[in-house]
């Protein structure tokens, strides 16, 4: 069982508010990821990090930003939330083992912007 935690689990917030979604892992993994997933749909990578002070944008454009100051922590921030940001956000981490790349996921944060 993976030790990766996301808070909050659910968030309902008004338009224009600044929010930060938290993600922490205790496995010492170098690589961390943020995905956006609409209900029942596929996961889209929006940000990833290969280690401290490393962040990259993913395949799906997102207005959110991320930071990686500590190995275990990879928060995602929206400066001004909009209804189009309503979605589920999933955080994952992995450690490359040769050719394998098993990503372990948190339970997700379901965001609703009114």
Least distance (Å) between residue 13 CB and other proteins:
17
Nearest to 46 by CA among 54, 32, 63, 34: 34
Is residue 75 at the binding interface for other proteins, with CB under 8 A as the rule? no
Q: Which one of residues 11, 58, 65, 75 is an interface residue with other proteins (CB under 8 A)?
A: 58
Q: Rounded distance, CA 81 to CA 75, Å?
A: 15
Kindly provide the residue ranges of all beta strands, DSSP E only, lying in the chain, ordered along the sequence: 4-7, 10-13, 19-25, 31-37, 44-51, 54-57, 65-66, 76-78, 87-94, 103-105, 109-113
Is residue 60 at the binding interface for other proteins, with CB under 8 A as the rule? no
Q: Which one of residues 18, 26, 27, 50 is an interface residue with other proteins (CB under 8 A)?
A: 50
Q: Which one of residues 12, 27, 41, 60 is an interface residue with other proteins (CB under 8 A)?
A: 41
Q: Which chain residues interact with other proteins by CB under 8 A?
A: 6, 31, 33, 35, 39-45, 48, 50, 58-59, 90, 92, 94, 96, 99-108
């Amino acid at each position: 069982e993976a030790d990766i935690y996301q808070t909050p689990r659910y968030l309902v917030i008004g338009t224009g508010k600044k929010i930060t979604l938290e993600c922490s892992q205790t496995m010492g993994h170098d690589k961390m990821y943020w995905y956006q997933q609409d209900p029942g749909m596929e996961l889209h990578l929006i940000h990833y990090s290969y280690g401290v002070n490393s962040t990259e944008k993913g395949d799906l454009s997102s207005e959110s930003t991320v930071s990686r100051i500590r190995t275990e922590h990879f928060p995602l921030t929206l400066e001004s939330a909009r209804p189009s940001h309503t979605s589920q956000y999933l955080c994952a981490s992995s450690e490359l083992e040769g050719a394998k790349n098993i990503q372990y996921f948190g339970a997700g944060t379901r965001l609703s912007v009114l």
